[in-house]
Structure 1
Amino acid sequence: MTTTSPPEPPRSRLGHAYGEQLAQHPLTGSQHPAAAARDSATLTLAYQDRFLNGPAFLGEGERRTVVADLQTVYRLLRSLPERVFGGSTTALAAAVGLDPGQSALITRSARTGTLLPLGRADLYHDGAGFKLLEFNLTSALGGFENADINRAMLAYPPLAEFVHRHGLRYQDTLGHMVRTMRAECAAHVPADRPPVVAVVDTVDNFAVVGPRLRVFAAKLADHGAEGIACDLGELSYPNGRPTVGGRAVDVVFRYFLPEDLTDPVATAQLEPLLLAVERGRVGLFSRLDAELYGNKGTLAILSDERHRDLFDAAELACVDRLLPWTRYVRPRLTAPDGARVDTLAHALAHRHELILKPTLLHGGHGITAGWESDPAAWEREVAAAMDGPFVLQHRVRPAAEPFPDGAGGLQELFLNWGLYVGARGAGDDGDDGYAGGFVRASADPAVGVVSVGSGAAVGCVFHGGD
């Protein structure tokens, strides 16, 4: 008599257990797990009605491991000017694709105040572990509604009971952001009243995202700050200090990005703000030079074998564990087997395993997945990117995760995890800097980019339960 081994359990034991529980609770009407999220004006403004039928679950052991790895990667990224570029932030700026004007603005910011860790890691789990696709290190991270999704999902009684029974919890991402802002801009946060915080984007961007930033500004009141959302053009500078609507500003919470600083109008409107920061008249969160470290080009530097002798054994183990193979698009590159090869020939031969990404753009813009392109189009894209601000990255195939299908069963979805990290000591969970998260999900196993912009559904993250 032959026996067969039991099937391997899914990555998310909790997700599988929750699906089994939901099979006993058919979804109906107001009892739908996403009903409260869809009834929230705040959440529908951000995500319309694209909510998953349940949360994602992050086991406590894997949470600790990935957060520790992300903290290590953050330290490595911050050390790149010294380790690779002789201490020059200007050289790092040029290497990651910033033009001279952007570089001058960003490196100016590096001379003021301090810069504390704050970022969102975009990751796939390939069944063996998390792989880091991008590490966005900036104040313009989104995610300030993360805890609202958790709270809305907990209005569904079967989930609330499951979370309680397994000892699960979640982090308030916005709370971590505000604590980090207060620490980074401590010299500008008054002790006797709530700080006035201007949430600021460019004029063009604010015309699109203004309603959501107004929500963000209003939510700051829950964290002991007075928020005002505005664009750069609404700031005036009597006596050198920024004001908006007649209110003097203590801290500017920055929502503009490096790609916005190529517009001469935006650059001119930014200049008096940078002068006010340099003269100590206002705090800027986060410092512009955060953008030097939070882009795909820096991941290519960490991934490149040419720099392996700059890192110790523990650092290399982290890089090997977390980063997919990533290289700048230059005429020759180091292949995964260590051989130096012609880049275009390698890209054509391995089209189905590669994705082409600009180093500085965000939100999935400018990305070309080789497996979604025909050979001629792929060759044109890679050739056009040669010697420019682009990287090639090895494809990461996300493992299927079990999610309720809304009809009493389970469906397989493929997740882009957005996990937030900040400075240690800003929250609980052993003060390791974990600041919550959310997921974006697609039912397409061959999806190039799992993002809200490409139609993905959104869900919250609960952790713990080991």
Structure 2
Amino acid sequence: MMTITAACVTDAYIRNEKLAQAVELTRFPAELERCWGPRMLNRPLFTRTSELQQTSSDLGDLFGLLAALPERLFNGDTAAYCAAIGIGEKRLAMIEKFSSGPPLLFGRADLYNDETGFKILEFNLSSKLGGMDMCEFQSSLLRNPDFATFASRYELRYTHTGERIAHALRVASASITDGRTPRVGVVCAPGEMAVHERMVASFAGTMRRVGVEITIGELGRLSSSHGTLRLNDAPIDVAFRFFSMGDVLMHPEAMKQAELLFRAHHDGVAVLWTPMNYALVSNKGTLALVSAAADSALLSTDERAVIDRLVPWTRILDDDLIDYCRRHREELVLKPLHGAAGVGVTAGWACDERRWTAALRDASAASVPNELDVADRWVVQRRIVPRVETVVDPFTATVQDWVAAWSVFLTPEGDAGAFARVAPASSSPVIGYSINPDVRMAGVFSIGAAR
């Protein structure tokens, strides 16, 4: 039996005239339209189910490695580990004070898919994530009769991220809720509601449609009375953390409110999703550490195989690497260790030698922790050339080459759905939604039955 490839399904989708306006004619939830509508791609993306399953499995194994790094590479010396990846003393103190137990797997991996498979760029292990609502793209598109017929023919499937998150929150809060559905509060940093309102509202809509009621508010709206944590005066069992450690350090008043939340978590009154010790694993420096460890005897054969399949060569930049990086400019990308959304990234192949040398010089300069208590360090990573995705311009009907940054969500049970950010191949080398106006959002379907 011939294996149906993603390229084959893409070609069939594009040639099917009934699907030319399928996305445009699909009625999406109002919150999703408001958040992403003008920047949705006019088609979904496709990958083999077996390929996505292998990647999700590898990501789970990688998470286990990251969580074990302080013990395996630093003999349990968390302070030395934090120093290696640029986490300052204030952050370490907060981690140690307000964390209990090892972090559970929850987050989003951002990847490129080259000709050998998926390769990770970043592992965002946190609950402050974008795209958790994008599963509505797939569920809505399947209500289009023509697409539903197409999906049946090619055995297209997807994982509903909202359903997987709802299950994870039910399990995490079981000791508090005694079997009922948890009451969830999405807690933002002071002043951040206006910034994230559309994204959070769309996520809340997704969760309500899977049976989980959501209250949205900022840290300053938290209170506690009679053994119950409240947000906007509404009782909550789970505080879905949509603020970072830096947000708390920037606002002294926020720290007081955060401590209220941390105590509630510690006392078993409410669940903090996710705890502060996620900062130990959600850091580009951790990928550099496991990449370097793969060249040693510290990892097993199976662990090295996971790194080989999933993690491109990545190192924390130091003086010993400068000459190598200069010689291999077109093969490397330079990233701020604590950066996000593509901000501050320098792609060696997209700049001249003078600019690259200057970027390396600035990145290798000695630094001390800033006001957010992170040292301004950098990682250098091997360039991954993503495979081309075919997109038809809806206005001119011309065929264009685009490239995708794939995002795979994971919960403690594994795969929790995927979406992609997609941009023209001729666009910026960084596929960042907030910094590149050409970037579009797309739902992801996998092809073929699950193993």
Structure 1 length normalisation: TM-score? 0.86
In 1, Cα distance between equivalents of 2:334 and 2:10? 37
Pairing partner for 2:408 from 411, 415, 419: 419
Please say if 1:238 is aligned against 2:238.
no
Counterpart residue identity of residue 352, structure 2? D
176-185 vs 291-300, greater mean Cα deviation: 176-185
Alignment gaps of 5+ in structure 1? 1-8, 333-342, 425-432
Secondary structure of the equivalent of 1:298? Answer: helix
Query: 1: CA distance between counterparts of 2:98 and 2:171?
Result: 17
Match of 1:373 in 2: 351
- Shift of residue 27, structure 1, vs aligned partner: 6.3
Alignment partner of 2:213 out of 216, 226, 239? 226
- Counterpart in 2 of 1:274? 262
**Partner Cα distance (1:293, 1:34) in 2:** 39
Distance in 2 separating the partners of 1:267 and 1:422 = 28
Q: How many angstroms apart in 1 are the aligned matches of 2:359 and 2:10?
A: 43
Alignment-derived partner of residue 45 in structure 1: 34
Specify the code of the residue in structure 1 equivalent to 2:425.
Answer: D
**Deviations 1:375-399 (CA, angstroms, capped at 9, x unpaired):** 3333333222225432111111111
Once the two structures are superposed, residues 125-170 of structure 1 have per-residue CA deviations (whole angstroms, 9 ceiling, x without a partner) of: 1112111111111122222222210023234443221111122111
Q: CA deviation at 1:302?
A: 0.4
Q: CA deviation at 1:89?
A: 3.3
Q: Tell me which residue corresponds to 1:71.
A: 60
Amino acid across the alignment from 1:462: F
Distance 1:116 1:214 in 2: 25
Aligned counterparts of 1:162 and 1:369: Cα–Cα separation in 2? 39
CA–CA distance in 2 between the matches of 1:445 and 1:76?
Answer: 36
Distance change >3 Å, CA 400–CA 180, structure 1 → 2: same
- Does 2:83 correspond to 1:100? no
Pair 1:360–1:16, CA change in 2 (3 A): same
Match of 1:448 in 2: 429
Correspondence for 1:339:
none
Aligned: 1:131 with 2:119:
yes
1:452 partner SS: coil
> Within 2, Cα distance between the matches of 1:216 and 1:21?
29
> What one-letter code is carried by the residue in structure 2 that aligns with 1:36?
T
Report the residue type matching 1:293 in the other structure: V
Secondary structure at the counterpart of residue 412 of structure 1: strand
| Paired residues of 2:10 and 2:46 also in contact (CA < 8 A) | no
Tell whether 2:447 aligns with 1:464.
Answer: yes
Q: What CA distance in whole angstroms lies between the structure 2 residues aligned with 1:224 and 1:185?
A: 15
Find out whether 1:319 has 2:300 as its counterpart: no
Asked if the contact 1:34/1:54 (under 8 Å) is kept, the reply is no
Does the alignment pair 1:364 with 2:353?
Answer: no
Amino acid at match of 1:20: A
2:99: which partner in 1? 110
Residue 145 (1) aligns with residue 123 (2)? no
Counterpart AA for 2:239: V
Contact in 2 for aligned 1:118/1:180 (Cα 8 Å) = no
Aligned residue among 171, 184, 200 for 1:213: 200
Counterpart Cα distance in 1 of 2:4 and 2:45: 8
Distance 1:53 1:220 in 2: 25
Query: What is the CA-CA distance between 1:284 and the residue it aligns to?
Result: 0.4
After superposition, the Cα gap between the structure-2 partners of 1:262 and 1:157, relative to the gap in structure 1 and judged at 3 Å, is same
Q: Percentage identity across aligned positions?
A: 32
- Contact map agreement 1:60 1:463 (CA 8 A) in 2: yes
Q: 1:160 to 1:404 in 2, by over 3 A?
A: farther
TM-score of the two chains, using structure 2 as the length reference? 0.88
Aligned partner of 2:442: which letter?
Answer: G
Higher mean alpha-carbon deviation, 407-416 vs 201-210, is at 407-416
The answer to whether the 8 Å contact 1:189/1:251 transfers is: no
Contact 1:166–1:465 (8 Å) recurs in 2:
yes
Aligned residue identity for 2:161? T
Tell me the residue number matched to 1:435: 416
Q: Distance in 1 between matches of 2:323 and 2:427?
A: 23
- 1:33 aligned partner: 23
Gaps of 5+ in 2: 367-375
In structure 2, relative to structure 1, the CA distance for the partners of 1:41 and 1:15 (3 Å cut) is farther
C-alpha distance in 2 between matches for 1:57 and 1:227: 31
Q: Secondary structure at the match of 1:208?
A: helix
Instruction: Tell whether the 8 Å contact from 1:51 to 1:457 is kept in structure 2 after alignment.
Output: yes
Query: Matches of 1:223 and 1:154 in 2, distance apart?
Result: 17
Question: Which secondary structure state, in structure 2, belongs to the residue aligned with residue 64 of structure 1?
Answer: helix
**Greater CA drift, 269-278 or 240-249:** 240-249
- Let me know the Cα RMSD of the aligned residues: 2.5
CA offsets 1:39-60 (integer angstroms, 9 cap, x no match): 6432232224112221111212
Determine whether 1:352 maps to 2:330.
yes
Confirm or deny that 1:20 pairs with 2:39: no
The alpha carbon displacement at 1:26 in A equals 6.1
Are the equivalent residues in 2 in contact too, given 1:115–1:287 (CA < 8 A)? yes
Query: Do the aligned partners of residues 252 and 242 (structure 1) sit closer, same or farther apart at CA in structure 2, a change above 3 Å counting?
Result: same
Give the Cα–Cα distance (whole angstroms) in 2 for the partners of residues 17 and 52 of structure 1.
17
Q: Aligned pair in 2 of structure 1 residues 394, 269: CA closer, same or farther (>3 Å)?
A: same
Tell me which amino acid in the other structure corresponds to 2:330.
H
Equivalent-residue separation in structure 1 for 2:61 and 2:19 (angstroms) = 42
